[in-house]
Amino acid sequence: MSLPRDFVRAIEAALPGDAIIREREQLLTYECDGLTGHRALPSLVVLPQGTAQVQAVVRACAAHGIPFVARGAGTGLSGGALPVAGGIVISLTRMKRVLEIDWASGRIVVEPGITNLAVTEAVAAEGFYYAPDPSSQQVCTIGGNVAENSGGAHCLKHGVTVNHVTGLELVLPDGELVELGGKGLDPAGLDLLGVVVGSEGTLGIATRVTLRILRRPEAVLTLLAGFPTTEAAGRAVSDVIAAGILPSAIEMMDALTIEAAEAAVQANYPAGVGAVLIVELDGVAAQVEEDRARVEEICRACGAGELRAAADEADRARLWRGRKAAFAAMGRVSPSYYVQDGVVPRTKLPLILRRIAELEAEYGLRVGNVFHAGDGNLHPLVCYDHRVPGEFERAREVAEKILFACVEAGGSITGEHGVGVDKACSMPLLFGEHDLAAMNRVRRAFDPASLANPGKVLPTPRLCGEVPGPYRAHPIEVAGLGERL
């Protein structure tokens, strides 16, 4: 779709030539994010440098009614950065500077295009780190983390992105600039940071982000426990939480994902087990030591055979490498796989794992389970062969049924990957008409013209193929598989 000539002139006036991409071959890079099944070619991609350029671009979009999609590294898994027809993509990857490290305040101020890991690297020498650590942390950007409210393995104890962002400079969808928060906490008024973080680029574009940095703990201990079944491992997770222990991370991998990870990175996981747990404890040394004894006791009581602690930093890094490489490693055991992201209350882990096993048997498809068990955040990987006709559709069905089981168990349709386009039509599983309407009103307060990442997060008739009205049935409801909460 071609853009109005006046609009293109405004963009050309605002940005240097090398910051505008319009060749089809180059535009293809931006046609999807990590959710590669959804693709759309943007009309134009811009790579602004600095807040003023972002503002100028957004102002031009507002003046001409052109929708825009902000994008970081494009690692998102819900299509949040999927271009919008007739719109442009604003890539923030050229804005990746550290602007300030305020050691005395425990804050770092960065541009949105910096990678998550680069933030920790910037403060590591002084013994600090940035806590949220999504598995894609080597490439994903802070701007993307802010948009998605990204989590990671260690958010069980230390919280997700929203708990670590203290300030944002935000370009609103009309091009105006607002400063939300700062270095201090508890500013007067509404918690605007709380609603902007995780709004998936629909409320504006963050051009500067102030983050909390934490002191590295005195002690870190990583335990690896092998269990006969995922159910036994799931029970251990529940028991650890119920015992009042708060590890920094509890991760689970099942036999299939262990096999894949071992093949990829030789993480040295025990052979022949049904599941492993990686339990990490951090804090003051005496507490870590005591918690370790109790965690080991609970794991043994739940049937753990092999139980060992990482011997040193290299060993610890190896254990985590296996976990963090698990998604990519699945390519070694299956030609294709479908990544799901769902959440259940922690006590429902054994239940949901049984349900997943039933679905595997029913559909004859393997499902790899690798997930943040401590907070009930599942990432089932449904394996299929894209060359076999119909298998993709069946894999999707399994993934959808897992999601439905999560909701039925009192959980959520996404713990960290976001709604994006992928799950916008599943929102009615969790939220009723009035809930979605209230969210939409907040969106309108920020973006009355619906230009910022339209079609994401909230279901629309165009996207979901149904007429808006007092009641919209979700396909799962229609199929008689469930009812509205």
Partner 1 sequence: MSAAPPAPASVRPGTLEEAAGALRAAGAAGRTVSIGRDGGDVILSTAGLTRILEHEPGDLIVIVEAGIRLSALDAQLAAHGQLLALDPPGDPTVGACLAANLSGPRRHRYGAPRDLVLGATLVLADGTVASSGGKVVKNVAGFDLAKLVCGSEGRLGLIARVCLRLHPRPAAARTVVVPLQDSAHAACLASAVLRSTLAPSAVDVHWPGRLALLFEGSARAVADQVATAGALLGAVEAGSDVWSEAGGRQLAARGRVSFAPGELAALLDAWPRAVVRAGAGAAYVPDPVADARPAGVRVLEERIREQLDPQGVFA
| Residues from 305 through 344 that contact partner 1 (CB under 8 A) | 343-344
Q: Which of 86, 175, 187, 270: binder of partner 1 (CB under 8 A)? A: 187
* Residue indicated by tokens 């290299």: 314
Residue closer to partner 1 by CB (options 122, 343) is: 343
Distance in Å, CB of 293 to partner 1, minimum: 11
Distance in Å, CB of 138 to partner 1, minimum: 21
Beta strands in 118-163 (DSSP E): 128-129
User: C-alpha distances in angstroms, 96 versus 118, 140, 181, 400, 425?
Assistant: 9, 12, 21, 37, 34
Q: Which of 13, 17, 189, 389: binder of partner 1 (CB under 8 A)? A: 189
Residues 415-434 that bind partner 1 (CB under 8 A): 415-419, 423, 427, 430-432, 434
Residue closer to partner 1 by CB (options 148, 259) is: 148
User: Strand, coil or helix: what is 461?
Assistant: helix
Residues 279-298 that bind partner 1 (CB under 8 A): 283-287, 290
Residue closer to partner 1 by CB (options 191, 362) is: 191
- Per CB under 8 A, 178 contacts partner 1: yes
Q: Is 51 exposed, middle or buried (0-12, 13-18, 19+ CB in 10 A)?
A: middle
User: Strand, coil or helix: what is 195?
Assistant: helix
Residues 364-403 that bind partner 1 (CB under 8 A): 372, 375-377
Stretch that binds partner 1, among 21-29, 134-142, 152-160, 263-271 (CB under 8 A): 152-160
Q: Which of 242, 263, 301, 449: binder of partner 1 (CB under 8 A)? A: 242
Distance in Å, CB of 428 to partner 1, minimum: 11
- Per CB under 8 A, 182 contacts partner 1: yes
- Per CB under 8 A, 160 contacts partner 1: yes
Contacts 24+ apart (CB under 8 A), 320-324: 320/153, 320/222, 320/278, 321/265, 321/267, 322/253, 322/258, 322/261, 322/262, 322/264, 322/265, 322/267, 322/268, 322/269, 323/135, 323/153, 323/251, 323/253, 323/261, 323/267, 323/278, 323/370, 324/135, 324/153
Which strand ranges, in their side-by-side order, compose the sheet holding 107-110?
98-102, 107-110, 205-212, 165-171, 177-181
Q: Which of 238, 248, 257, 334: binder of partner 1 (CB under 8 A)? A: 238
Stretch that binds partner 1, among 24-32, 307-315, 324-332, 437-445 (CB under 8 A): 437-445
Residue closer to partner 1 by CB (options 43, 145) is: 145
Q: Is 4 left (phi over 0), alpha (psi -120 to 50) or beta?
A: beta
Residue closer to partner 1 by CB (options 44, 122) is: 122
Concatenating the DSSP letter of every residue in 235-274 gives HHHHHHHHTT---SEEEEEEHHHHHHHHHHH---PPTT-S
**Could you tell me which of 159, 146, 160 has the C-alpha nearest to residue 192?**
146
* Exposure string for 230-265, b = 16+ CB within 10 A, e = fewer: bbbbbbbbbbbbeeebbbbbbbbbbbbbbbbbbebb
Size of the site for partner 1 (CB under 8 A): 93
Q: Which of 6, 102, 297, 358: binder of partner 1 (CB under 8 A)? A: 102
Residues 125-144 that bind partner 1 (CB under 8 A): 127
Q: Is 271 exposed, middle or buried (0-12, 13-18, 19+ CB in 10 A)?
A: exposed
Distance in Å, CB of 168 to partner 1, minimum: 11
Number of residues that make up the chain: 485
Residue closer to partner 1 by CB (options 323, 366) is: 323
Q: Which of 41, 177, 325, 351: binder of partner 1 (CB under 8 A)? A: 177
Residues 46-85 that bind partner 1 (CB under 8 A): none
Q: What is the CA radius of gyration of the chain?
A: 23
Residue closer to partner 1 by CB (options 134, 226) is: 134
- Per CB under 8 A, 232 contacts partner 1: no
Distance in Å, CB of 70 to partner 1, minimum: 17
- Per CB under 8 A, 185 contacts partner 1: yes
Residue closer to partner 1 by CB (options 4, 432) is: 432
